[in-house]
Chain A
Amino acid sequence: DVKVTQSSRYLVKRTGEKVFLECVQDMDHENMFWYRQDPGLGLRLIYFSYDVKMKEKGDIPEGYSVSREKKERFSLILESASTNQTSMYLCATLGQGALSGANVLTFGAGSRLTVL
């Protein structure tokens, strides 16, 4: 089974701090994604990467950047955290589903970030 590991389950940071959220996958998936999840809004795509050093903006990239130096690792960076970035952050990889053969997402457990 694909495993997606997010290094921090809970973080508390102060406004203006730089925040790193790390995500590591143990399969050879090329595509990796960062979503944020807020009540009533569902999941919104922040950034995704389809290869090492390649990245594309999602629907809400403002205030975020990403880094993909190695295939297995995809990092989300908040350059200067703000209170409106308090949220649940979910990392995912895209790979072929065992039953369907189509591309499905495998998610990490999530990182709940609180910015004070």
Chain B
Amino acid sequence: SQQGEEDPQALSIQEGENATMNCSYKTSINNLQWYRQNSGRGLVHLILIRSNEREKHSGRLRVTLDTSKKSSSLLITASRAADTASYFCATARSDSWGKLQFGAGTQVVVTP
């Protein structure tokens, strides 16, 4: 069963704009992670936020977590054409060590 659901399903922006995508989940979690997938390739881990954290930064990435609303957002600032990819949130449930559950992803297209 899908734990995380991303919104929107697809996003098209111009280079230099910010891209924001959201993730909602259903159960208690230890942490929430974001991954990126370039077309036809495997996923690459981007950033992790623990359940007791509210915001995390890494380079042009900013992640927020609201455990009361069971939701997270990923912001990519000053986007580049190379950011074109699908982005997935994955949750590490409190009752399910080691098994991450993924959403369906947000497909982001950044045009020059």
By a beta-carbon cutoff of 8 Å, the part of chain B in contact with chain A is: 1-2, 4, 30-31, 33, 35, 40-45, 48, 50, 58, 88, 90, 92, 98-105
Contact = CB atoms under 8 A, between A and B. Distances in A.
Nearest to B4: A42
Nearest to A60: B1
Nearest to A98: B45
Contacts of A94: 98
Contacts, number: 65
B30 to A, nearest CB: 8
A50 B96 CA distance: 13
B92 A41 contact: no
Contacts of A92: 42-43
B104 A102 contact: no
Interface size range on A against B: 20 to 34
Provide the main secondary structure of the chain A interface: strand
24 contacts: A42-B2, A42-B102, A42-B103, A43-B43, A43-B88, A45-B99, A45-B101, A50-B98, A90-B42, A92-B43, A94-B98, A99-B58, A100-B31, A102-B31, A102-B50, A104-B33, A105-B90, A107-B42, A107-B43, A107-B44, A109-B41, A110-B40, A110-B41, A112-B40
